[in-house]
């Protein structure tokens, strides 16, 4: 499974990229607004940090303007993936951009039939929002299972990018189902490193080592 980080905070992205475990970045208008910076500047800086896909989202809702925005966003850097909403206009733009060789991330997916349409439109990535489904008492992981199965049935190359991830168990469940990517807030991604028994074991090892009075270097 590939890990993307869902943020526009450049310092967080740089720190996580240094681990060698970061495969890409996703942003959205809310995250860009939170950064307080100009969109093009933020996306260009992120793209320089990671060679993986960096999703930058259009903000128009009509087809013509959305297409122009997508074409502008992809011009910022070669690893930009244009993010479009899962609407009729958004899928038409996905088809047009994909035909031009642009990677497209179709976002705000909440049903397997929507995911099917996105794949047929040539999406490079589909972003099902599992946490938001859980919030309304629907099973977000059932959407992942259905989407993965449908894509396998027909050999679609579209990658399932699990979004709206709230905790490590979402990641585990998605990985067991065969999802290709999980995009995580920085805190959730860092939570994958942690376990209380790891901390306790390391503390004991270091305490025992200190008693020897030795130094490796």
Instruction: Outline where the chain has alpha helix (H).
Output: 10-17, 29-35, 39-49, 63-74, 88-99, 112-120, 130-135, 140-154, 168-177, 186-191, 196-212
> Is 199 strand, coil or helix?
helix
CB atoms within 10 A of CB 29: 14
Residue (of 88, 126, 90, 122) closest to 107 by Cα position: 126
User: Catalytic residue among 83, 103, 120, 176, which?
Assistant: 83
CB atoms within 10 A of CB 217: 2
Task: Identify whether the C-beta of residue 177 lies closer than 8 Å to the C-beta of residue 144.
Answer: yes
As a whole number of angstroms, the distance between CA 97 and CA 83 comes to 11
Mark whether 211 is an active-site residue.
Answer: no
As a whole number of angstroms, the distance between CA 151 and CA 153 comes to 5
As a whole number of angstroms, the distance between CA 205 and CA 133 comes to 43
Catalytic residue positions, numbered: 83
């Amino acid at each position: 499974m590939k890990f993307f980080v869902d943020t526009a905070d450049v310092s967080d992205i740089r720190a996580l990229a240094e681990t060698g475990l970061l495969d890409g970045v996703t942003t959205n208008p809310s995250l860009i607004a939170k950064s307080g910076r100009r969109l093009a500047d933020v996306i260009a800086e992120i793209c320089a940090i990671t060679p993986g896909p960096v999703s930058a989202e259009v903000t128009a809702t009509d087809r013509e303007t959305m297409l122009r925005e997508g074409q502008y966003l992809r011009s910022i850097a070669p690893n930009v993936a244009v993010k479009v909403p899962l609407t009729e206009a958004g899928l038409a733009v996905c088809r047009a951009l994909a035909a031009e060789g642009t990677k497209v991330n179709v976002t705000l997916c909440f049903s397997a039939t929507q995911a099917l349409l996105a794949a047929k439109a040539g999406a490079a990535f589909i972003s099902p929002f599992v946490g938001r489904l859980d919030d309304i008492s629907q099973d977000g992981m059932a959407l992942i299972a259905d989407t993965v199965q449908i894509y396998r049935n027909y050999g679609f190359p579209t990658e399932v990018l699990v979004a709206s991830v709230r905790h490590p168990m979402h990641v585990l469940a998605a990985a067991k189902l065969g999802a290709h990517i999980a995009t995580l807030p920085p805190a959730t991604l860092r939570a994958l490193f942690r376990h209380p028994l790891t901390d306790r074991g390391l503390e004991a090892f270091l305490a025992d080592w200190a008693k020897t009075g030795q130094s490796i270097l």
